[in-house]
Structure 1
Amino acid sequence: MNPQFKKGALELCVLSKLLGNDCYGYELTEAISEKMVIATGTLYLVLKRLKDENYVETYLVESDEGPARKYYHLTEKGITYQGALKQEWLEFVQAVDHFIQA
């Protein structure tokens, strides 16, 4: 998959995955990696940016399998942002489809 396609869509994928339930970083990486190849470091940069913008918040959960896991949770602002990005994405895809279906 073209890296430029992924770059623009990764943030929306992360937000959409978090819309249903809270996840920790590795869990997000695994889920998204099932559909596209991504580097773990790239995902954590997206998560940091989303946290800095107050779209997600974090909390720690103790783990029986090692250190505590940092979970990511969408804020109300993040839910609103996800909805807006989703709408923009759908409009973008429709515009691109117009040209590639011609």
Structure 2
Amino acid sequence: MRQDAVRGHLDGLLLAVVEPGPLHGYAIITAVQERSSGALELRTGTIYPALNRLERLGLLQSSWEGEGQRKRRCYELTESGRRFLADERTAWRDFTAAIGSVLNPVPPAAPGRHGQRGLAT
């Protein structure tokens, strides 16, 4: 799938994969790839700036986890992030329904015996 297909949906994708619980950056990348059956491959150069931006917006919070020298920054949703994700899901359903109705229109039903006027059945 084209990399630009993710554009405009990255925030929702990132928030959705951390919804169940805290994840570090590489685990977020892996989760997106697994959930999309390999169709979406996000790069670290895209993910980390987006995670930092989402944290600045108050949609994610992060903390350092691990022991010794192997510490990782883990991200989790805030309450604002949960509300934002719910709005993103609604917007996505509306968008896909609108696009679907254009790309795959439902043909009008053929008039049947009961749909014709003036004819006795």
TM-score with structure 2 length normalisation? 0.77
SS at match of 1:72: strand
Please name the residue that 1:70 is paired with. 73
Q: Which consecutive residues of structure 2, in runs of 5 or more, have no partner in the other structure?
A: 106-121
Amino acid at match of 1:18: V
Q: How many residues align?
A: 101
Please name the residue that 1:89 is paired with. 92
Q: 1:51 aligns with which of 55, 58, 75?
A: 55
Distance 1:63 1:33, change over 3 A: farther
TM-score with structure 1 length normalisation? 0.90
- 8 Å Cα contact 1:57-1:75 kept in structure 2: yes
Matches within 5 A, 1:1-102: 1-34=1-34, 35=36, 36-63=40-67, 66-102=69-105
Alpha-carbon RMSD? 1.4
Distance of 1:42 and 1:78 partners within structure 2: 19
Q: Which consecutive residues of structure 1, in runs of 5 or more, have no partner in the other structure?
A: none
- 8 Å Cα contact 2:15-2:81 kept in structure 1: yes
Q: Deviation digits for residues 22-46 of structure 1, max 9, x if unmatched?
A: 1111100111123212211111121
Choose between structure 1 and 2: higher helix proportion: 1
Distance of 1:63 and 1:94 partners within structure 2: 47
